[in-house]
A and B are shown apart, each in its own frame.
Chain A
Amino acid sequence: MFLSFFDTRFDPRTLIFLTLSFSVVVISVSSFQLSLGLFIFALGLAVLFRAPLVSTFKKIMLLDGFMILALLSLPFTFASGPSLLIWGVSVYLDGFWLAVSIALKANSIFLCFTALMGRMGVAEFAHALAHLKVPTQFVQILLLMVRYIDVLRLELERMRTAMKCRGFQYSTSWHCWKSIGHLIGMLFVRSIERGEQILTAMKCRGFQGTFPLLHHFHYGRRDSLLILSFFSGLLLFLIFSSSLNLASLMELPSHG
């Protein structure tokens, strides 16, 4: 009974609002304890909303590779506070804890996003934006993009296949680079022409500059209930985690 509540469909606007609020809370807290509390809260959300945790984990691993490297480098480059000497390399604790807290924050937001919005379709998302008073022109750009990204991706694939059939191989050479440049140029030309065709087709069907919205959403009592329980839960977690004493953990044996 309790769990099935989280399986019901909520108004997408509610979910977007909650995800955004949570993200703002996460980035505005500065203490490590609170970040940890919020992370556990997000983990709880992921379990309650039955987010596919394995694929979520894989996605987390895909998080921008460079930033992961940057995080990994922090304990070595941020020369401040006490340091440990591990295999002859100084590891700065301040840098280490900073990296951990950033990782916690990024993953909390990601987990919350996957839990609340992971099952929402892109089209539904775009429509929800329109109902949240995002300009329709922007929503229309988003919807057309969603519709045609795959079409263009397939076109690109076909052109690359054709290049392969003519013996093209990737290498560091001007010939290769120029060919890739032409390939991208051709992709742009085709996308522009398709855009022109779409406009013509839209005009043939009576387009006069406005886009009608078909989807409408219903904000109901379950949405209020979700918002209420979400924020009370969040508050509880924040109070609880701020009362924890993690200071002893932060001051590991140091060779300051």
Chain B
Amino acid sequence: MAEAYFKLQDISFSRPGFAPLFSELNFEVYSRETIGLVGGNGAGKTSLFHLLMGLLKPSSGEIIAFGKTCSSEGDFLDVRTQAGYLFQNSDDQLFCPTVEEDVSFGPLNLGQSHKKAIEITTKVLSDLGLSGFEKRITHHLSGGEKRLVALASVLAMEPKVLLLDEPTTGLDELAYERLTDILKRLDISKVIISHDETFLSALTERTYRLKAGQLHLL
């Protein structure tokens, strides 16, 4: 029996001064499944991720994450260590001078010792084919390399679910294939926002379209 990682029940949400973004929306993510998410600009795909991570609070409805009803900031601290969120713009995510420091930032936040954090970093980097990148300056990497380092920094926290926001935008062919390949091999749940149909069909089991505040199965 697959375990439910996220359960959104009758979630409504609106930004102050705007029409409601979601009205009584339901959404579930189970273990080891990959879900695609499409929708026009401003349909609220990123906002949905923000709700899952507790960065936005719904006006009504319930968010159950990893078996626990979450409402306060404290509840979501736990969620953030179990769900890895890959930002649309890797530059927003990477802020440390070197790759090693950036990737070990998450494990250190989880309270790992310095030595353990470095161990995890080395392992994650080699898993993604980034061995030897440890001392490189993150800011000077190419767009594709930055995306992979950002992914490494998320994976270093050993998440159960990955939330990927437009992971393929701005990647060249080589980086694109490398990312597809890595994601295929990763045996954890994934929710992927993308406009790229080939990418989604290669990875996902089902895809939803977010339209007028509701999710429609495609």
Say whether A155 faces chain B, with CB atoms less than 8 Å apart.
yes
| A89 CB, nearest partner CB in chain B, Å | 42
Complex interface: chain B residues within 8 A of A77 (CB) = none
Chain B 67-84: CB-based contact to A (< 8 A → 1; otherwise 0)? 000000000010011000
Residue of B nearest to A175 (CB): B108
In the bound complex, do residue A166 and residue B77 qualify as a contact, i.e. CB atoms below 8 Å apart?
no
- Kindly identify, within residues 156 to 201 of chain A, every residue whose CB is under 8 Å from any CB belonging to chain B: 158-159, 161-169, 175, 179, 182-183, 185-186, 189-190
**Interface on B for A, CB 8 Å cutoff?**
53, 55, 77, 80-81, 85, 87, 89, 91-93, 95-97, 101, 105-106, 108-110, 139, 153-154, 157
What's the tally of chain A residues with a CB closer than 8 Å to chain B?
A: 20
Complex interface: chain A residues within 8 A of B93 (CB) = 159, 162
Say which residue of A159, A167, A169 sits within 8 Å of B95 (CB atoms).
A159
* Chief secondary structure at chain B's binding surface: helix
Q: How many A-B residue pairs have CB under 8 A?
A: 57
In the bound complex, do residue B109 and residue A167 qualify as a contact, i.e. CB atoms below 8 Å apart?
yes
| A67 CB, nearest partner CB in chain B, Å | 33
Say which residue of B101, B108, B109 sits within 8 Å of A182 (CB atoms).
B101
| B160 CB, nearest partner CB in chain A, Å | 14
Given contacts A159-B92, A182-B95, contact A166 B153 (CB under 8 A): yes
Complex interface: chain A residues within 8 A of B97 (CB) = 182, 185
In the bound complex, do residue B87 and residue A162 qualify as a contact, i.e. CB atoms below 8 Å apart?
yes
Complex interface: chain A residues within 8 A of B92 (CB) = 155, 158-159, 161-162
Given contacts A161-B55, A189-B139, contact A166 B95 (CB under 8 A): no
Residue of A nearest to B73 (CB): A164
In the bound complex, do residue A183 and residue B85 qualify as a contact, i.e. CB atoms below 8 Å apart?
no
Interface centre among B55, B92, B97 (most CB of A within 10 A): B92
In the bound complex, do residue B109 and residue A168 qualify as a contact, i.e. CB atoms below 8 Å apart?
yes
Chain A 147-159: CB-based contact to B (< 8 A → 1; otherwise 0)? 0000000010011
In the bound complex, do residue A166 and residue B109 qualify as a contact, i.e. CB atoms below 8 Å apart?
yes
Say which residue of B55, B81, B87, B101 sits within 8 Å of A167 (CB atoms).
B81
Say which residue of A155, A158, A169, A182 sits within 8 Å of B96 (CB atoms).
A182
Residue of B nearest to A193 (CB): B139
How long is the Cα–Cα vector from A19 to B80 in the complex, in angstroms? 51
In the bound complex, do residue B53 and residue A167 qualify as a contact, i.e. CB atoms below 8 Å apart?
no
Complex interface: chain A residues within 8 A of B105 (CB) = 163, 166, 168, 179
Complex interface: chain A residues within 8 A of B109 (CB) = 166-169, 175
In the bound complex, do residue B55 and residue A166 qualify as a contact, i.e. CB atoms below 8 Å apart?
no
In the bound complex, do residue B106 and residue A167 qualify as a contact, i.e. CB atoms below 8 Å apart?
yes
Can you pick out 14 interface pairs between chain A and chain B where the beta carbons lie within 8 Å of each other? A159-B92, A159-B93, A161-B55, A164-B55, A165-B55, A166-B105, A166-B109, A167-B80, A168-B109, A179-B105, A185-B95, A185-B97, A186-B95, A190-B91
In the bound complex, do residue A163 and residue B77 qualify as a contact, i.e. CB atoms below 8 Å apart?
no
Given contacts A161-B55, A162-B93, contact A167 B139 (CB under 8 A): no
| A173 CB, nearest partner CB in chain B, Å | 10
Residue of A nearest to B111 (CB): A167
In the bound complex, do residue B157 and residue A163 qualify as a contact, i.e. CB atoms below 8 Å apart?
no
Complex interface: chain B residues within 8 A of A189 (CB) = 139
Residue of B nearest to A184 (CB): B95
| A209 CB, nearest partner CB in chain B, Å | 30
Complex interface: chain A residues within 8 A of B55 (CB) = 161, 164-165
Complex interface: chain A residues within 8 A of B153 (CB) = 166
How long is the Cα–Cα vector from A44 to B86 in the complex, in angstroms? 56
| B63 CB, nearest partner CB in chain A, Å | 16
- Kindly identify, within residues 1 to 26 of chain A, every residue whose CB is under 8 Å from any CB belonging to chain B: none
Complex interface: chain B residues within 8 A of A162 (CB) = 85, 87, 92-93, 95
Complex interface: chain B residues within 8 A of A158 (CB) = 87, 89, 92
Complex interface: chain B residues within 8 A of A190 (CB) = 91
| B130 CB, nearest partner CB in chain A, Å | 18
Residue of A nearest to B104 (CB): A175
How long is the Cα–Cα vector from A164 to B81 in the complex, in angstroms? 10
Say which residue of A155, A165, A185 sits within 8 Å of B80 (CB atoms).
A165
How long is the Cα–Cα vector from A190 to B8 in the complex, in angstroms? 37
| B170 CB, nearest partner CB in chain A, Å | 17
Given contacts A158-B92, A162-B93, A186-B95, contact A169 B77 (CB under 8 A): yes
| B138 CB, nearest partner CB in chain A, Å | 9
Complex interface: chain A residues within 8 A of B77 (CB) = 167, 169
